[in-house]
Structure formats: structure tokens, C-alpha cells
A and B are shown apart, each in its own frame.
Chain A
């Protein structure tokens, strides 16, 4: 059974004389069938919101000096925190893959006289930058730059 849509959805500004049945949302929205991937994509926003709070808290605790920093490090070793970061990583990868899949169609047919490259090349460029950035970041975090 589909959920009710907004009562004004697709209503004309001046309603006709015939009484109408109210609009329904698409079948399966939000939790079933074809909308699952989209809803999962949108839901990852909650993960980033939580991540933002965690980072803000960590920065706040740094104000307490070395003891604060050690507290942050201890908190990050907690299995729940590790699990959350694994979930965030999966979320980021999922969003990245979906974004790269949709990105080519959001390009205008031409910018001035220049046409964008074919979708496959655009996706290849995005994945290359992503993988390259990840490798550089991994190298930096592993101490390679210092």
C-alpha cells in the first residue's frame, strides 16, 4: 500500500469541479523495491553528520592538551567507533561510485565549442583521481611524507 503524497502534489492551482482522490507516493517508496538504492544514498548523509560531530568533539578535546589528545585516541580505539568508521568508509565508497555513475549525464552537451569527453573517459578520469588521491593520502598518513 503506497503512502499518501503531499495533498497538493500535481494539483492545478485552480482545482476542477470534480472531486479527486488524493495522490499517492510511488509504490515501495521509501523502503522497498526500486527506491532502496536512492534512499540508502540519501541516508549516508546521517553518517556524515555524525562524523562531523565526532570530529568537532575531537577538536574541542584538543583544547585540554596532551590528556585531551590521548582521550581522543582512546575513544577512537573503541570497537563501536571502529565499526562506525568502517560504516562511514562503506558509505563514502557507495556515494562515490553512485556519483561517478551519474556525473557524466549532468554535463552540458557543450561548453562553448568544446564537447565533454565520452562518459567512459569521464568516469575513468574520476576513478583515476579518486584512486590517486587515496594512495597519496595513505602514503602521507603512513608517515611517508615526514
Chain B
């Protein structure tokens, strides 16, 4: 049996049917030394207040559901040991997102942005099945692998100061996931995506605060993707001015 320590949890509550604005509730939780923040939230939900709402699923930093602000920092709660926090822990919903209830934020805005960057392989002409698979070397995979590790946890959006000020900004995760396909040797849709990156909510809104990369639990480095997309978008635009047929094949 591990050591037990009482910690105070100050948790944001918001019931859209009752509350005008979000408020806070405080819970005292007997925490075991090996607990993560999510374990304490589960204890509150199971033992103290069953109405507490939050998202979680895998408990191993893969699904990206349990992102919240813990002591002000965007964090995956299943990956954050309670031992790294003090006697009082503040848990709030992710910044920059509208709040649906308690710690649950509205993700539809992100889903729209993600769809807008076309995060799938675009081919000018699909190969016939009998022509075999699209082959890719380990070196070609290495070009984009880092950006494909995104788990859509939204911590990068919660940390970005631009997202909160410019509603049209596509944002870190969506750009990283779109740019990932630009780097994929099987893809032929880079020009299409670069036009989106240059358009409404463009990559050039990013002022390179780098906070998205600082908080990313999977080391995806979205700031790198955004700033590489700035350069490739610019090169693509310049090529479209000087090359025949706008540089399109």
C-alpha cells in the first residue's frame, strides 16, 4: 500500500443550465503517491461528486482525451504525476476553447479546422490495385513521422496565444497534420494545402511563441511544422508566379 496524502483540488465547474459563468469547487482527496492527476479526478467523480464532467479514456497518453489545465499549464492529466504538484492543485478546462460543462471543452471548432487542411493523401490519379502499393523508404518516412504522432489532445491550442486572439487561425495541430501530408512522398496535394495555409487563418498568423511545442506530450513540435509550412507556402506561391501553369503539372 503506497503512502496517502490529502491534497486539495480546486476544480472549475460550469453547468450551462444553472451557471451564468464558471465557478470553482474544492475537494479534499486522499491521494496515493503513485497517482496521476486523472486518478484524483476519478476519485472525485466516484466518491465525492458524481456530477463532475471531464473527458478521459486510455490512461496511457495515447487517446489525447484528458487534456486540461493543471495549475495553469496545459497537461495530459493521465501523464502528470501528482507528486510534481503542491498540496493544492487547480484543475481548469483548456484555455482558448468554449466550455461545454465543467472541464469539457467544445472541439467542433477544431474538427472544422482539421478538415479544412485536408489531412489525407491526395493523388492526381490513383494507381490501379494491380499496380501494387505505394512504396516509401525509411528516409522518406522519417521526413514526416514526427508530425504524424499527434494525438489531437489540444494542449497546443490551449497554450497558443494566437489562437485566443485570432479565431480564424488554423492552429498548431491542424497545420502539423496537414503539413505532414505535404512531406509524404505518396502525396500530390501540397500545392492545394499550401494555398489553404496561405489563406484565411494562415500560417503567417503564427508569431513563433513556440509554446505549442513546449506543451506537446508527444514531442510532435507543431511550431516546426508551422514555420516550415510558412517557407514552403512562400516558395509555392513564388513558383506559381514564374512557372508555366502556376507550377502545376
- Interface residue tally for chain B (C-beta within 8 Å): 54
B211/A23 in contact, CB under 8 A: no
Q: How many Å lie between the Cα of A146 and that of B238 in the bound state?
A: 42
Query: B88-108 vs A: 1/0 string, CB under 8 Å?
Result: 000010011111110001101
Q: Would B228 and A10 count as touching, CB distance under 8 A?
A: no
**Contact between chains at B231 and A23 (CB < 8 Å):** no
A9 lies within 8 A of B99 (CB): no
Smallest CB separation, B112 vs chain A (Å): 6
Residues on the B chain within 8 Å of A9, using CB: 96-98, 163-165, 167
Q: Given the interface contacts A5-B164, A18-B16, A35-B211, does A11 sit within 8 Å of B98 by beta carbon?
A: yes
A33 at the interface (CB under 8 A from B): yes
Instruction: Verify if A57 is at the interface (C-beta below 8 Å from B).
Output: no
Taking a contact as CB atoms under 8 Å apart, the answer to whether B161 and A30 are in contact is yes
Q: Are A105 and B95 in contact (CB under 8 A)?
A: no
Complex contacts, A5 vs chain B, CB 8 Å: 95-96, 163-165
Decide: B95 and A2 in contact? CB cutoff 8 A: yes
B194 in the interface, Cβ–Cβ < 8 Å?
no
In the assembled complex, which residues on chain B have CB atoms less than 8 Å from the CB atom of A105? 213, 221, 223-224, 227
Contact status of A10 and B157, CB under 8 A, knowing A23-B164, A102-B210, A105-B227: yes
Does A77 touch B at the CB level, under 8 Å?
no
Judge whether A21 and B209 touch: CB under 8 Å. no
Pick out which of these stretches binds chain B: A60-68, A106-114, A124-132, A135-143: A106-114
Given contacts A5-B95, A35-B209, contact A108 B228 (CB under 8 A): yes
Residues on B with C-beta less than 8 A from A26 are 72, 74, 95-96, 158-161, 164, 211
- Given the complex, which residues of A lie within 8 Å of B97, measured CB to CB? 9-10, 23
CA of A42 to CA of B19, assembled, Å: 37
Q: Mark A12-48, 1 if CB is under 8 A from B, else 0.
A: 1100101111111111111001110010001000000
Whether A25 and B221, one on each chain, are in contact in the complex, defined by CB atoms closer than 8 angstroms, is no
Contact assessment for A109 and B98 in the assembled complex, using a CB-CB cutoff below 8 Å: no
Q: Which of A42, A105, A107 has the most CB of B within 10 A?
A: A105
Instruction: Check A6–B207 contact: CB distance below 8 A.
Output: no
> Which residues of B line the A interface, CB within 8 A?
14, 16, 19, 21-22, 69, 72-74, 92, 95-101, 105-106, 108-112, 142-144, 157-161, 163-167, 171, 183, 207-211, 213-214, 221, 223-224, 227-228, 230-232
18 contacts between A and B (CB under 8 A): A6-B166, A9-B98, A10-B167, A10-B171, A11-B167, A12-B111, A26-B160, A26-B211, A27-B72, A33-B72, A38-B161, A38-B211, A42-B207, A102-B223, A105-B221, A106-B227, A106-B231, A109-B183
On A, residues with C-beta under 8 Å from B are: 2, 5-6, 8-13, 16, 18-30, 33-35, 38, 42, 102, 105-110
